[in-house]
Amino acid sequence: MSHEEPIHASGLSGLVIRKMTEDDLEQVVAIDQVSFSLPWPARSFKFELTDNETSRSWVAVLDGQIAAMIVSWLLVDELHVATIATHPDFRGKGIGRRLLTHALLDAKAEGATRSILEVRASNEAALKMYRSFGYVEEGRRKDYYKDNNEDAILMSLDELHQLSGE
């Protein structure tokens, strides 16, 4: 991993992005549960930290509180964004953008050239964010989400080399 020290994000005074640790899990799980209709079991986050070598998991911390989290998997040259969420109290402030940028740049430093993810077809905020990074729709997975049989949009970002700065 390239970034061993916390990184202070400009523009969001005091925001620190650092690797997720087991001590963060309670807050991470809480963010996941208020953010998704199909949240992950707590053990899945723990697995990411303890047993999944491909996992690249980060938190954005503001005033000692975890404001946002991301779990991603680095698979050779591709970063798969598995989940990302900002606590509802902290949305719309640019934190999700900073966190995704950080994850992508760190993966790029490790050799990633592209990124993929799945997003609910109705998730306008996320779709807008991903499009602004250059992700484009690559396909659909029909009835992917089992709570409401919603389609997943599969998106890919092939221009990772063009991403710079945080």
Residues interacting with ligand COA, by CB under 6 A?
35, 68, 84-86, 91-97, 119, 123-126, 128-129, 132
Active-site pick, 48, 130, 135, 166: 130
- Side-chain-side CA neighbours of 85 within 13 Å: the count stands at 19
118 annotated active-site: yes
**β-pair partners for 141:** 152
**Closer by beta carbon to ligand COA, 95 or else 105:** 95
Active-site pick, 5, 53, 110, 118: 118
Q: Are strands 65-75 and 55-62 parallel, antiparallel or unpaired?
A: antiparallel
Q: How far is the CB of 83 from ligand COA (least distance, A)?
A: 7
Q: How far is the CB of 154 from ligand COA (least distance, A)?
A: 11
Q: How far is the CB of 51 from ligand COA (least distance, A)?
A: 23
Closest CA to 71 of 53, 58, 61: 58
144 annotated active-site: no
Phi-psi region of 123 (alpha: psi -120 to 50; beta: other; left: phi over 0): beta
Query: 156 near 114, Cβ under 8 Å?
Result: yes
**Closer by beta carbon to ligand COA, 132 or else 148:** 132
**Closer by beta carbon to ligand COA, 38 or else 111:** 38
List of residues 6+ apart from 64 with CB closer than 8 A: none
Q: How far is the CB of 71 from ligand COA (least distance, A)?
A: 11
**Closer by beta carbon to ligand COA, 53 or else 146:** 146
Spatial separation of the C-alpha atoms in residues 135 and 126, rounded to whole Å: 11
Supply the residues annotated as catalytic: 118, 130
